[in-house]
Amino acid sequence: MKRTNLLAATALVLVLACSAGAAPKIKALIIDGQNNHDWKSTTPLLKKMLEETGLFSVDVATSPPKGGDMSGFKPDFAAYRLVLSNYNGTDWPEETKQAFEAFVRNGGGFIVYHASDNPFRNWKEYNEMIGLGGWEGRNEKDGPYFHWRDGMLAADEAPGPGGHHGKAHPFKVTIRNASHPITRGLPEEWMHVTDELYDKMRGPGKNMTVLATGYADPATGGIGEHEPLLLTITYGKGRVFHTMLGHGPEAISCVGFIATLQRGAEWAATGKVTQKVPGDSPTADRISTRQ
């Protein structure tokens, strides 16, 4: 065999060996472009977290800025198995909304991240997907408040605005469902870094499972209730993981945030979690962050 042919054959064997060894990546899409939060800093960090699992290849679809022409904003949701929203902005075109509904209904995974539970108050299907939402004028017409009382989720029909948080501070996250694939094996209580603790969230709360709560302490401006912070929702054949945590880069440096996001992403995309519990998880009295 000539040397050039030998090299070509060797290269071919290497290519085959590599492609046989690595499972194809799950295609994921992050949506951003409008948000009253620092999406330009958080999107690259979220992208890195998903890619670090070795499971995902991640694209980003950035919408026109607020006030821009949204008519051409049509991400190809159907090309992905997971969509993570880092978007809190103006309405999407009708065609985009319908494509997104079809994506989740047909079995797509969806991650609702922090303020992406704020927009689209008048989009009924979106509110069913996120389970709970806040701000944007939400009130009792959008569904009850939900609190964790006496070991179970309780709907509260009291009237009033939806969506509120006290002063950002470190707080304890308490797992309320330790048998779910996302939370299995994680510490049942862990200290989260300084972040906003959303309370008074409202919504239809249909097909919703609360995985973890935080106590909205009146001492830091909270409402004195244990509030849902990590949720799953099923919508059609689709799986939704909703994390209310993660106001900014510091908040998402928490290993508890990272682990639940990575595990939530795998679960939303596949229905299973194969990732190990991280060895540097926070504990009930010790924060743990990664830079």
Residues that bind Zn ion (CB under 5 A): 196, 247
Query: Can you tell me the distance from the alpha carbon of 227 to that of 145, in angstroms, rounded to the nearest whole number?
Result: 9
Q: Which is nearer to Zn ion, 128 or 196 (CB)?
A: 196
Q: Which is nearer to Zn ion, 202 or 247 (CB)?
A: 247
DSSP state letter for 173: E
Q: Which is nearer to Zn ion, 32 or 196 (CB)?
A: 196
CA angle 148, 190, 151 (to 5 degrees): 20
Residue 137 buriedness (CB in 10 A; 0-12 / 13-18 / 19+): exposed
Q: Which is nearer to Zn ion, 56 or 198 (CB)?
A: 198
Q: Least distance from C-beta 88 to Zn ion, angstroms?
A: 9
All residues at 6 or more sequence positions from 23 whose CB lies less than 8 Å from its CB, including other chains: none
Q: Which is nearer to Zn ion, 176 or 247 (CB)?
A: 247
Angle between helix 39-52 and 255-270 (nearest 10): 70
| Structure-token match 């006030």, residue found | 67
Closest-CB residue for Zn ion? 247
Q: Which two tokens stand for residue 30?
A: 């992050």
Q: Least distance from C-beta 44 to Zn ion, angstroms?
A: 18
Q: How many CB atoms lie under 10 A from the CB of residue 285? A: 9
- Whether 276 and 69 have beta carbons less than 8 Å apart is answered as no
Q: Least distance from C-beta 39 to Zn ion, angstroms?
A: 11
Q: Least distance from C-beta 101 to Zn ion, angstroms?
A: 26
- Among 158, 170, 163, smallest CA distance to 215 is for 170
Q: Which is nearer to Zn ion, 101 or 196 (CB)?
A: 196
Cα torsion through 132, 213, 164, 66, rounded to 10: -60
Q: Which is nearer to Zn ion, 175 or 197 (CB)?
A: 197
Q: Least distance from C-beta 38 to Zn ion, angstroms?
A: 9
Dihedral sign for Cα atoms in the order 133, 136, 141, 147: positive
Q: Which is nearer to Zn ion, 192 or 247 (CB)?
A: 247
Q: Least distance from C-beta 36 to Zn ion, angstroms?
A: 8
Q: Least distance from C-beta 211 to Zn ion, angstroms?
A: 20
Query: Can you tell me the distance from the alpha carbon of 99 to that of 76, in angstroms, rounded to the nearest whole number?
Result: 8
Query: Can you tell me the distance from the alpha carbon of 153 to that of 259, in angstroms, rounded to the nearest whole number?
Result: 24
What is the radius of gyration, based on Cα positions, of the chain? Answer: 20
Query: Can you tell me the distance from the alpha carbon of 39 to that of 22, in angstroms, rounded to the nearest whole number?
Result: 31
Q: Least distance from C-beta 158 to Zn ion, angstroms?
A: 24
